[in-house]
Chains A and B, each alone.
Chain A
Amino acid sequence: MAYSQRNEFEADSQGLVYFQHAGFTLDGAIGAFGVLDSADYLMFEDTLDLRHYFSFDGYPFKSYWLDTENSALQWARDTTLYMIPDSLKSHPDCDVRIQRIGELAATDSEQIIVVADEAMVMEKLKDVFQFESLEGQLMARDYVMALYMRSSTSNPLS
């Protein structure tokens, strides 16, 4: 694994050279690693705010709707079970890769292309993909997953 991670650092440094020669900014490279890093986190891991989501003026949320008596199992989850030690990863952590490319980057690199509103475009794409994904769940008749995904996002479209 250490050998694989060394190769990844080499690939990053080569990629950075190509990246800069193509005229992209260092910020873009770091941003790309940031996006990769965010993919390591489960999108819908957080506790849902069902009290807020399923409460209406004429029909307020009932506290017993979240009673666990009807659940077959008590489902307290040990999240440490899902952490992978760094030594077992084929790729180094993204924050380490960001630090390395920051050190490698030439200070006098030409900065030709700056993509305006990159973050806004990404947010819009995220909304569209989430909407498409929700629609797919409904078509597949996986209604629980559709509700779960919908109540985990802030997409006004859905």
Chain B
Amino acid sequence: MTAHALIELAAAFSRNEFLEYVEFADMNYPTGYNQMLTFLHNMNSATLFRLATYCLQDKLGSVPDHAYVGFLNTLNEHKDVITEEVVKLYAQQYKDDYFTGLLWDKAKSPLPPSRK
């Protein structure tokens, strides 16, 4: 889930939508949350993708052929630019309707509507 969030934020950065997902620190927020916001504001898309890659290797590298791990690897490898071919390849390999559906959504709408 950490890798998933990092990949999505990296992709949002690439689409110039980072600030729609990551607000600025605020003295009314808990200290830990402000730390996280500060940390993210010191990132760029490349560092976020790189962190996601290491996170995937470190925490999930030993998990064989899991549909979610495959989904995350697909997102990370294709930097959120998902084409029909990519989805078909995933569907063929993992045969998981849920994650295939999520990839189809990304393939149909590479620039998802703003969260706000």
In the complex, how many residue pairs between chain A and chain B have their CB atoms under 8 Å apart? 118
Q: Contact mask A71-114 → B, CB, 8 Å, 1/0?
A: 11111110000000000000000000000000000000000000
Within A121-158, the residues touching B (CB, 8 Å) are: 134-135, 138, 141-144, 146-148, 150-152, 158
B29 CB contacts on chain A under 8 angstroms: 75, 77
Q: A156 to B81: give the CA distance in the assembly, Å.
A: 30
Q: Which of B9, B27, B39 has the most CB of A within 10 A?
A: B39
CB neighbours of A117 from chain B (8 A): none
Interfacial chain B residues near A138, Cβ < 8 Å? 1, 4-5, 8
Given contacts A48-B35, A77-B27, whether A146 and B22 have CB atoms under 8 Å apart is: no
Q: Are A57 and B31 in contact (CB under 8 A)?
A: no
Q: Does A70 contact B (CB under 8 A)?
A: yes
Q: B26 to chain A: closest CB distance in Å? A: 6
A44-B33, A50-B35, A59-B50 are known contacts. Are A75 and B26 too (CB-CB below 8 A)? yes
B36 A147 Cβ-Cβ under 8 A: yes
Contact of B31 with A144 in the complex, beta carbons under 8 Å? no
Q: DSSP class of B's interface residues: helix, strand, loop or mixed?
A: helix
Contact in complex: B41, A71 (CB < 8 Å) = yes
Q: Is A14 an interface residue (CB 8 A)?
A: no
Chain A interface size range: 35 or more
Given A56-B58, A143-B5 in contact, is the A76-B36 Cβ separation under 8 Å?
A: no
Q: Is the CB of B26 within 8 A of A73?
A: yes
B-side contacts of A75, CB under 8 Å: 25-27, 29, 31, 34, 38
Instruction: Looking at the assembled complex, report how far the CB atom of A7 sits from the nearest CB atom of chain B, in whole angstroms.
Output: 33
B1-18 interface (Cβ within 8 A of A): 1-2, 4-6, 8-9, 12
Given contacts A56-B55, A135-B1, A138-B5, contact A65 B43 (CB under 8 A): yes
The answer on a CB contact under 8 Å between B21 and A71 is no
B21 contacts A143, CB within 8 Å?
A: yes
State in angstroms the CA–CA spacing of A70 and B34 once bound together: 12
B9 surroundings in chain A (CB, below 8 A): 143-144, 147
Are A144 and B25 neighbours in the complex by a CB distance under 8 Å? no
Chain A residue contacts of B37, Cβ below 8 A = 71, 144
Task: From the candidates A44, A54, A59, A74, name the one contacting B39 in the complex (CB within 8 A).
Answer: A54
When C-beta atoms are compared, the residue in chain B nearest to A135 turns out to be B1
Task: Give B contacts to A, CB under 8 Å.
Answer: 1-2, 4-6, 8-9, 12, 21-43, 50-51, 54-55, 57-58, 115
